[in-house]
Each structure stands twice: as C-alpha cells, then as structure tokens.
Amino acid sequence: MTAIIPAAGKGTRFLPATRVIPKEMLPIGAKPAIHCIVEEALAAGADDIVLVISEEKEIIRRYFEGDETLFGKVRYVYQREQRGLGHAVLQAAEGVTGSALVLLGDALVTGPNPSREMVAISKANGGASVVGLERVPPERVSRYGIVALEGRAAACGAGDAARIVDLVEKPKLEEAPSDLAIAGRYLLSADIFSLLATQTPGHGGEIQLTDAIRRLLATQPVFGYVYPGKRQDIGNPQGYLKALEAFNGIV
C-alpha cells in the first residue's frame, strides 16, 4: 500500500517560524511531526511512502534521507504550483495501482492509529474507500470538508463507521449537511486519480480532493470513520501547543 503525505503547503498560519522551518518539521518530542505521520502509515501497512514537497521544503527530504531504517521506503514528488489538496495528491499518482492512504502532513490524531483502523474498515467492506472524520463545533464547520452519512449521522459516535452519502468542501454553516468534518486521513481507491486529473477547480479556485471523492461516490461506496481520538492541527501555534500536550509521553 502506498501512503501519500502532502507537505508542500506554505505554512502561512504559522509565520514567522515557517519562513525557514516547514510546519511538518516542528518537533513533537524529539521527532518532527511528519516522522510521526510516516510511522503511523508504516504501522498501518504502507510499504511505499510518497512525500509531496516543494523546492523550499527540501529540508524534509534531507531529514528522511538521513534515516537508515526508512531508506528505500520514502520517495519524493514535487508540487510546483499551489493548486489545492487534490492537485497535491494527483502529483503522487504515478505507479500507484491499489488503494492509497492519504495523510495530511499537518494533522496528528490521538487514540488508536487512525490509518490502521481505516485499513481494517476498508477490508471489512470489500476494499471500499474510507475518510477519517471528527465532529466540530458550529463556528468551525465552514473551515472543513463536511460529510453526510447514511442513516442518522447524529447517532454516529466515536469509533463508528457508516457510508458517506454526500460531501461538501467548506460549506456555510446553514448549508452544511452535518457537523462531521473530514480530518486529515483518507484511504482512497486508485480510481481517485483519474477523477482528480479531470477535476475542475472548486472552493477557493483550487482542485479539491473533497470534490473528487464526491464524484467517486457515484460509482463506489465511501465510508466515514469517526475517530475515537482527537485530531490536532499543527499548522497553527495553538494547535501545535495542544498537540505537544496531547502527545506528551506518547512520542
């Protein structure tokens, strides 16, 4: 299984530190956050890790090239234009034939390894795609991709999985189908790549992964998995401090 870790973003929510240090390189204990994410992917069964970086973020490559235990497992592709998350994932398409695990480079999740849980849910459902979810308060709904689950979404609790019936990228609160936000982890059938290649720009004029998953839904099942733990967004100083607290003693 290939894991794709998009990490080419500019880190504008964490300036001035990100002028020289990519947010993914900020340490959680002694390890850069992106190292924790690579370990999560390996523990979930990935044997091929593709880091999507930019030329300004070569330091990530230098870091992993210095690690003998990961030698041969990590590859690099470059996203030369910032055209959105869908565009970043598409850069890693070459050579991927099976399902791809996508882990956002600025999201850490507490509790059981979310990628491993999602691989298990996929296996139990005939290899279906799975998207990791967390409930968010109303004031944060418009910052995320929001999903509608089959049946009563309100009854779907921590650790549950259910079929997704709709997704919308960064909806206004009054138009949001629920309070369940897409939260940094995806296990996607390889069919996502041909959809991304033809995906027209969506929210913010960017190629949105959410929009391509919405099209995937028309032909195959996609499940949502509500993390029992919490997602920590290390892309801003407050989230980073919370992540340090949440992973204190774990990493």
Q: Does 136 bind ligand G1P (CB under 6 A)?
A: no
Other Cβ atoms closer than 10 A to 249: 6
From candidates 182, 192, 222, 246, binder to ligand G1P by CB under 6 A:
182
First to last CA, the chain: 24
Residue (62 or 130) nearer to ligand G1P, CB: 130
Choose, by CB under 6 A, the member of 24, 40, 48, 169 that binds ligand G1P. Answer: 169
Alpha-carbon distance of 249 to 251, in angstroms, equals 6
Q: DSSP readout, 177-230?
A: S-SEEEEEEEEE-TTHHHHHHTPPP-GGGS--HHHHHHHHTTTS-EEEEE-SS-
Taking the complex as a whole, the smallest distance from the CB of residue 67 to ligand G1P amounts, in Å, to 26
Residue whose C-beta lies closest to ligand G1P: 145
CB of 32 or CB of 239, closer to ligand G1P = 239
Report if residue 22 touches ligand G1P, rule: CB under 6 A. no
Asked if 104 is part of the footprint of ligand G1P (rule: CB under 6 A), the reply reads yes
CA dist., res. 242 & res. 208, Å (int): 27
Q: Are 133 and 180 spatial neighbours (Cβ–Cβ below 8 Å)?
A: yes
Paired sense of beta strands 129-135 and 180-188, if any: antiparallel
Nearer to ligand G1P, 40 or 169 (CB): 169
| 178 near ligand G1P (CB under 6 A) | no
Q: Is 96 in the site for ligand G1P (CB under 6 A)?
A: no
Q: Is 181 in the site for ligand G1P (CB under 6 A)?
A: yes
Place of tokens 């391509």: 212
**184 lies in the binding site for ligand G1P (CB under 6 A):** yes
- Of the two residues 22 and 145, which places its CB atom closer to ligand G1P in the complex? 145
Please list the residues that pair with 74 across neighbouring strands.
49
Min dist CB 146 to ligand G1P, Å, is 8
Q: Shortest distance, CB of residue 217 to ligand G1P, whole angstroms?
A: 15
- Which residue lies nearer to ligand G1P by CB, 162 or 182? 182
**Whole-number minimum distance, CB 119 to ligand G1P, in Å?**
18
Give the chain's largest Cα–Cα span: 51
**Among residue numbers 186 through 225, which ones bind ligand G1P (CB under 6 A)?**
208-210
β-strand pairing of 48-53 with 74-78: parallel
Task: Using CB under 6 A, count the residues that bind ligand G1P.
Answer: 13
Distances in Å between the Cα of 244 and the Cα atoms of 28, 39, 81, 232, 239 are 6, 17, 31, 9, 9
The two structure tokens encoding residue 13: 């929510």
144 binds ligand G1P (CB under 6 A): yes
Site for ligand G1P contains 114 (CB under 6 A): no
Which residue ranges make up the site for ligand G1P (CB under 6 A)? 85, 104, 107, 144-145, 169, 181-184, 208-210
